[in-house]
Amino acid sequence: MSGEGASGGPASVLKGVMSVVTLVLGVAGASLGYFEYKAHQQEVRIDRVFGYSDAFHGPAGSYAEAEATLANFSETYWTFLDQNPADKADQYVVDTVRSDPELRKAMNALTTFFDTLSICVSEDLCDERTTRALFANDLEEFRNLAYPWLVDQTTHYGAKAGAPLLCLRKQFKTTPMPARDAIWNFGRPRGPCATAAG
């Protein structure tokens, strides 16, 4: 017996070193692959937000007409506020939207747009930081004008349209409206806005 099994010799040591090197290279390769995957996913999330931005802000964007309709209404709304008590403003918004099919169409189109964007962010399909940079002001302006209409639709028809967009606005922590924000939690512990509705 020469003691081959006891000491293992240089071939056994080399085999052990190669096993360790192979393991280290495998772990490093897997880690690199994971980080490349995560970086690619982040790029995809950012690209999605820019797709939304192109649709919303683009010159031929499908929301340009709705935005123009809402801009016109915004002017009449502020004129109304200048001439009437503030406590009548919400009912003015609801009555005007109900009586104007074009305004109602614009309101519904933009609500759907922002709801969809909100769900994209809350499901981590769109990058939140990029969304905030590109849409926080638009979201705030729309929320301020559309809020009474969205509450009316929820109260009378049980529609939850507008809840995700208001949750996203709350998540962005823009100008707080605590009394209004509290209404929009809907007592839902889960759903697309669970993280924002807390």
Identify residue 182 by its one-letter amino acid code.
Answer: A
C-alpha pair distances (Å), 52 with each of 4, 67, 84, 122: 69, 15, 37, 15
Tell me, yes or no, whether 37 lies in a domain: no
Q: Are 54 and 62 in contact (CB under 8 A)?
A: no
Tell me, yes or no, whether 117 lies in a domain: yes
Helix or strand holding residue 104 (H, E): helix 101-122
For residues 35 and 165, the model is more confident at 165
Tell me, yes or no, whether 194 lies in a domain: no
Tell me, yes or no, whether 16 lies in a domain: no
Tell me, yes or no, whether 188 lies in a domain: no
pLDDT tier at 93, thresholds 50, 70, 90 = very high
Tell me, yes or no, whether 116 lies in a domain: yes
Q: Are 183 and 167 in contact (CB under 8 A)?
A: no
CA distance 2 to 10: 14
Tell me, yes or no, whether 3 lies in a domain: no
Share of the chain above pLDDT 70, in %: 75
pLDDT tier at 37, thresholds 50, 70, 90 = low
Tell me, yes or no, whether 64 lies in a domain: yes
Structure tokens at 71: 């801009």
Residue 176 has pLDDT above 60, yes or no: no
**Total domains in the fold of the chain:** 1
For residues 44 and 62, the model is more confident at 44
DSSP reduced 3-state for 67? helix
- Domain extent, residue 179, equals 46-183
